[in-house]
Amino acid sequence: MAVGIEKPSVGLSRVAISETHGENGIEKPSVGLSRVAISETHGENSPYFAGWKAYDENPYDEIMNPSGVIQMGLAENQVSFDLIEEYLRQLPETSFGGDHVSNFRENALFQDYHGLPSFRKALATFMEQIREGKAKFDPARVVLTAGATAANELLTFILADPGDALLIPTPYYPGFDRDLRWRTGVEIVPIHCNSSNNFQVTRQALEEAYNSAKAMNVRVRGVLITNPSNPLGATVQRQVLEDILDFVTKKNIHLVSDEIYSGSTFSSSDFVSVAEILEARDYKEAERVHIVYSLSKDLGLPGFRVGTIYSYNDKVVTTARRMSSFSLVSSQTQQLLATMLSDKKFTENYVRTNRERLRKRYDMIIEGLKKAGIQCLKGKAGLFCWMNLGPFMDKPTKESELALWSLIVHEAKLNISPGCSCHCSEPGWFRVCFANMSEQTLEVALKRIHDFVNKQR
């Protein structure tokens, strides 16, 4: 059953999945599952994931399968993994599972949802480092979760009730539809942004979104922004952050700032964290602000499942801590990373080198796309760029965009993400990831785009 990406997801009925049709033998009342279990809100049947299926069935490999589909839809950072590997290999035995008696006892048994103090401190320090000391982070406000996916869901459970809504600027990360809505029952109301001002959030757009929620009789509990943005790869301007803060204060709602790409800016001066703004305002009204972070992107360690909620609201911190019982970070991983993140020499070198390499990749892909006559949004961060294929579409419609996307997946054999999967209101934009492959593979991909575009002319 096909499910469109933008419609509110419609689950299969119990009738649809039940065995009562009796075709599998004796007709017994089959034992039912919950609405959550049968709902389609996980989105895995949407076109966004259809591209992934194409990749799974025919993955590109430089040597074994050079004509396979190149995965450009996965925002993973593999460009600096060698630094991590080198570091891990020179670590002593004790960092991996503890061999000193008391160390080990603490570690294997440690399931305190407060988290390992040394790791919390190291994480807070790392977050400061990424922001070049422009904001301070108190380890006591760091709540650990198994990944940012869990952090975002957890915050949603805490800040909103079923049926309430969060306002999110479009285009946004497709995973939010699942992570913020599936089990929580909370809705997402889009804040529409467009290319006329580089997709920045405007005061008017905020008001419009808020009012449209009100008109649907839905209570807005907060605004959630991703800064740097996914899929735009742009950072939110200081003035816009100020406007958003003023807006949430006026409406007395929350602000969640997902800063998961804050360490992946191409130049350190480009990123302004909401934490800086709060500090400048002397932390007035800070109780409504919560930051989400993770090591999956900046450190390229998504498998480690390390995320955090940093909240300026004591009650949210306490509640989030307790709720994190459903999503704790392995104590062994905390121990390992505490060592790594406390190593100032390593982290400084890593952050700097990672930035340089990402910047190099970004320049490479922008250049390559330019040669093919494709424009991109000016990006400042992230593992992807936001490219405009509008000029290559016959009609500025979602259908055209999906048709073009289908061609790219099946002919050019590139899995990229169509803007509609990100709820972009302007058809023709696509997100293209560049950090999850080698430079050679990126060359191959760029050539394919070049050839594809030429064919279209």
Partner 1 sequence: MTQTPVSDYEDDKTRRPSSPSSRGGGTTAMRVIVPLQGVVQGRGGLILGSIIPCALFYFLQLYLKRNRSKSPSPPSSSSAENLPEVSVLHRSASRSFLSPRSSTGPAYVSSRANLIVKSGDSPYYVGLKKVNEDPYDKFANSDGVIQLGLAENNLTLDLVRDWLSENARDSIVGGDLSISGFATYQPFDGLMELKVAVAGFMSQVMNNSVSFNPSQMVLTAGATPAIETLSFCLADPGNAFLVPSPYYPGFDRDVKWRAGVELIPVPCRSADNFGLSITALDRAFTQAKKRGLKVRGMIISNPSNPVGNLLSKDMLYSLVDFAREKNIHIISDEIFAGSTHGNEEFVSMAEIIDTEDFDRNRVHIVYGLSKDLSLPGFRVGVIYSFNENVVDAARKLARFSSISAPTQRLLIPMLSDTRFIERFIRTNRERLRKMYTEFVTGLEQLGIKCAKSSGGFYCWADMSGLIRSYSEKGELELWDKLLNIAKINVTPGSACHCIEPGWFRCCFTTLTENDIPVVMERIRKISETCKSHS
Residue 332: CB atoms within 10 Å? 16
The question of whether 168 is a catalytic residue gets the answer no
Q: Which member of 244, 260, 291, 365 is catalytic?
A: 260
Which of 20, 58, 78, 198 binds partner 1 (CB under 8 A)? It is 78
Burial of 57 from C-beta contacts in 10 A (0-12 / 13-18 / 19+): exposed
Six-digit token string for 117: 């103090």
List the end-to-end C-alpha distance of the chain, in Å, as a whole number: 35
Cβ of residue 397: shortest distance to partner 1, in angstroms?
31
Site for partner 1 in 109-168 (CB under 8 A): 109-111, 146-147, 149-150, 153, 157-164
Task: Pick the stretch among 50-58, 72-80, 414-422, 426-434 that binds partner 1 (CB under 8 A).
Answer: 72-80
Q: Return d(Cα 41, Cα 93) in angstroms, integer.
A: 44
Which of 49, 52, 96, 346 binds partner 1 (CB under 8 A)? It is 96
The answer for residues whose C-beta is within 8 angstroms of residue 432's C-beta and 6 or more apart is 72, 365, 384, 385, 386, 387, 416, 417
Cα of 267 vs its chain's centroid, Å: 20
Strands 254-258 and 289-294: parallel
Which of 73, 231, 302, 382 binds partner 1 (CB under 8 A)? It is 302
Residue 301: CB atoms within 10 Å? 18
Q: Which is nearer to partner 1, 81 or 392 (CB)?
A: 81
> What character string, x for contact with partner 1 (CB under 8 A) and - otherwise, covers 230-249?
------------------x-
Site for partner 1 in 412-431 (CB under 8 A): none
> What character string, x for contact with partner 1 (CB under 8 A) and - otherwise, covers 14-53?
---x----------xxxxxxxxxxx---x-x---------
Question: Among 173, 176, 141, which residue's Cα sits nearest to residue 320?
Answer: 141
Q: Does 10 engage in binding with partner 1 (CB under 8 A)?
A: no
The question of whether 260 is a catalytic residue gets the answer yes
Which of 3, 49, 68, 74 binds partner 1 (CB under 8 A)? It is 74
Which of 194, 237, 332, 353 binds partner 1 (CB under 8 A)? It is 332
Q: Does 89 engage in binding with partner 1 (CB under 8 A)?
A: yes
Site for partner 1 in 211-230 (CB under 8 A): 214, 217, 219, 221-222
Q: Return d(Cα 453, Cα 457) in angstroms, integer.
A: 7
Q: Return d(Cα 321, Cα 50) in angstroms, integer.
A: 36
> What character string, x for contact with partner 1 (CB under 8 A) and - otherwise, covers 184-203?
-x------------------
